[in-house]
Amino acid sequence: MADVAVIVPTLRRPAELERALRSLFVQTNVKDRFQEVVVVDNDPAGSAREVVATLAAASPVPLIYRHAPRPGVATARNAGLAATQAPLIGFLDDDEVASPGWLAALIAAQAETGADVVFGPITGRVPENTGWATPYLERFFGRAGPTATGLIQEPFGCGNSLMVRATALPGSAPFDARADQAGGEDDALFAALSARGGRFGWAADAWVEEYAPAHRATLRYALTRAFAYGQGPSQTAAAMGNWPGVARWMMIGAAQAGVWGLAALALFAIRSPRRAEVLDRAARGLGKLFWIKGFEPHFYGAREVDRLDRIKAA
């Protein structure tokens, strides 16, 4: 019985969206399980509508278009969930390309582990002109994990995942729309799931490639994103009222920022290629320290629309 829907949120990436969707059209060994694909267009102008209409005839499963005109990552994910009743929900980002066995590997891993959420590995791809930082950026936009399928202790992000709707996605809008601009909606979701005793799994063969767009494939963007990732543990502890936990994470962050910041200065002096990795660790430490509102970088929603408008006008 078909029971799996894949949700693809998108924002003004027509070529990338087509590439992602075509990778879903050639999934293998899921004929009896693959129910539908839901594309959530998060552009106020509805720019993905034409892409979906053009590709609908090529899709082996129903290809559903939903317009979520208020830009925001959590809003887009919630809109996708509202468009399907499937009990298993896969998420693929619009800048990702799934390998042919991707969905089958996620389904098999969920059945094997009984996990509420299963994640897969990602190979990061960046444009050719990223210079000495290329190896770091490829790792940053990628995702490494265990070599074998099984249960894991810590969750990853929503991109390249499969979730059991009944346990991992409670309610009609499980993603917190307050995270629309800064992201982190998945961190909050998974923290709540973990508190309920939920389990996370890893599908070692569920590979996707992630193609970072040029305006994101920069050291500045990656380090800003690392800072935001660092904010996650402190913000999650604060949201749960765990103030001793907040203090603990802030102390860890202070140590990380100090140690890795000094190491970065030394590595810059000798132009070591490892300096980007060390700066990343320092940025994550700073994020644990400066986690309160006002320090949150905005990567999604209206800010991303503004960035894309500026790029188009340039």
Structural domain boundaries, residue 40: 4-211
Q: Return the pLDDT at 232.
A: 87
Question: What is the per-residue burial (b if ≥16 Cβ within 10 Å, else e) of 237-276?
Answer: bbbeeeeeebeebbebbeebbeebbebbeebeeeeeeebb
20 in the same domain as 165: yes
152 in the same domain as 12: yes
Q: CB atoms < 10 A from the CB of 227, how many?
A: 23
308 in the same domain as 201: no
226 in the same domain as 205: no
- pLDDT tens figures, 14-47: 999 999 999 999 999 998 999 999 999 999 999 9
What percent of the chain has a predicted confidence (pLDDT) above 70?
97
The more confident residue out of 313 and 288 is: 288
241 in the same domain as 163: no
152 in the same domain as 85: yes
232 in the same domain as 149: no
State the total domains in the chain.
Answer: 2
Among 161, 176, 211, where does a domain finish? 211
Q: Return the pLDDT at 129.
A: 86
Among 211, 244, 265, where does a domain finish? 211
Provide the whole-model pTM.
0.91
Would the pLDDT of 312 be above 90? no
Among 185, 211, 237, where does a domain finish? 211
230 in the same domain as 197: no
237 in the same domain as 159: no
Which CATH number does the domain housing residue 41 bear? 3.90.550.10
257 in the same domain as 110: no
Q: Return the pLDDT at 240.
A: 85
226 in the same domain as 200: no
167 in the same domain as 128: yes
Which of 126-135, 221-230, 231-240, 297-306 is least confident?
Answer: 297-306
